[in-house]
Amino acid sequence: MDIQKLSSGFILRIPELIPQIIWKFFLIVIIFVSSIIIIKAGSFLIRKLIEKQKRFKISGDGKRLDTVSTILGSILRYGVYFIAIVTILTSVLNVFDIKTVLAAAGIGGVALGFGAQSLVKDIISGFFILAENQFAVGDVVAIGDMTGTVEEMELRVTKIRNFNGELYTIPNGEIKTVTNHTKGNRVAIVDTLVSYDVRIEKAVETIEKACKLLEQESKVLLEPPQVLGVTQFGDTYFVVRAIAKTIGAEHWATERELRAKIMMCFEEEKIRLGGFFPVGDKR
């Protein structure tokens, strides 16, 4: 009997509840739309401020500013969504009282220490990576067995894209060892295999000619390329090594250019080329 009274009473109140439900739904939509607008506007302002700062900074600082931009955008996004959800639960749906939410936040802090250690570890590691300037957006890095260009750095993860176009998403807490191929100067090394029927002097002279051609055309060399001479003897060939000091991660491209010019010069001199030794990780 009581159940019937309750159900009939609820049915009678439906016309009164419908406007309230529609109003609450409308408020929820407004809050989410406002959150998206705030995030987009905030991200736009962050990018503009970062671009303004980059005009007065050197290139290295510019990359770090790009990293700061992605971190600030991540903080803004998480913060706005958190405030939006809390507002909906406390002010619109009245599921929780604000005091209850604050108390839950305190309990949540303890829970994070036990149940979300990996999340906290990722965030803290991300801040240390940024503070220590280990790498920045745009750098070519090797993290574990993954090598590529850093596309994004967020609070929790770092995204790098390899040279095949594959995108890796790596939790910051799992980043142990980083090799930064962009920081500092690098050396392009090219080992050329030359047949024994070619005189060593002739081979060295021809490779020096290729080095001069590279010096005239390249804009990333820090000093003229040089031929070190013969570094190895094989069964049917000897090896001549040439090196070129370059900026940042330009050594890979420089090695490719130097090989092409050596091949061209060898063809002009009608010298039989034995091949090239792969030196290091080629990109």
Give the pLDDT confidence score for residue 211 in this predicted structure: 93
> Which of these CATH numbers, 1.10.287.1260, 3.20.20.80, 1.10.10.10, 1.10.357.10, describes 2-114?
1.10.287.1260
Q: What is the CATH number of domain 186-277?
A: 3.30.70.100
Residue 221, both tokens: 């060399």
Res 218: pLDDT: 87
Radius of gyration of the chain (CA): 31
User: Does the pLDDT at position 55 exceed 60?
Assistant: yes
Please state, in angstroms and rounded to a whole number, the distance separating the CA atoms of residues 33 and 235: 72
Residues of the chain with CATH 1.10.287.1260: 2-114
pLDDT of residue 66: 65
For the sheet with 186-195, list strands across it. Answer: 226-233, 237-246, 186-195, 273-277
Arithmetic mean of pLDDT, 163-189: 85
Confidence of residue 283 (pLDDT cuts 50, 70, 90): very low
Query: Which pLDDT tens digit goes with each residue over 44-53?
Result: 887 777 777 6
pLDDT at position 281 = 47
* CATH for the 129-180 domain, from 2.40.50.1020, 2.30.30.60, 3.90.550.10, 3.30.1330.20: 2.30.30.60
- Per cent of the chain over pLDDT 70 is 75
- Decide if pLDDT at 208 tops 90: yes
Nearest to 281, CA basis, from 175, 159, 146 = 146
Give me the pLDDT at residue 282, please. 47
With bands split at pLDDT 50, 70 and 90, how would you rate the model's confidence at 81?
A: confident
User: Looking at residue 206, what is its pLDDT?
Assistant: 92
pLDDT class for 279, splitting at 50, 70, 90? Answer: low
Location of each CATH 2.30.30.60 domain in the chain? 129-180
Q: What does pLDDT average to over the chain?
A: 77
| pLDDT given for residue 59 in this prediction | 46
Separation of alpha carbons 172 and 169, rounded Å? 9
Residues of each domain in the chain carrying CATH 3.30.70.100: 186-277
Checking if the pLDDT of 16 tops 70, the result is: no
If one compares 161 and 112, the residue with the highest pLDDT of the two is 161
200 pLDDT exceeds 70? yes
Report the pLDDT averaged over residues 66-77.
73
Residues 6+ apart with CB under 8 A from 282: 252, 255, 256
- Please give the model's pTM, rounded to 2 decimal places: 0.51
Pairing of strands 146-153, 157-161: antiparallel
For residue 111, what is the enclosing H or E element? helix 98-115
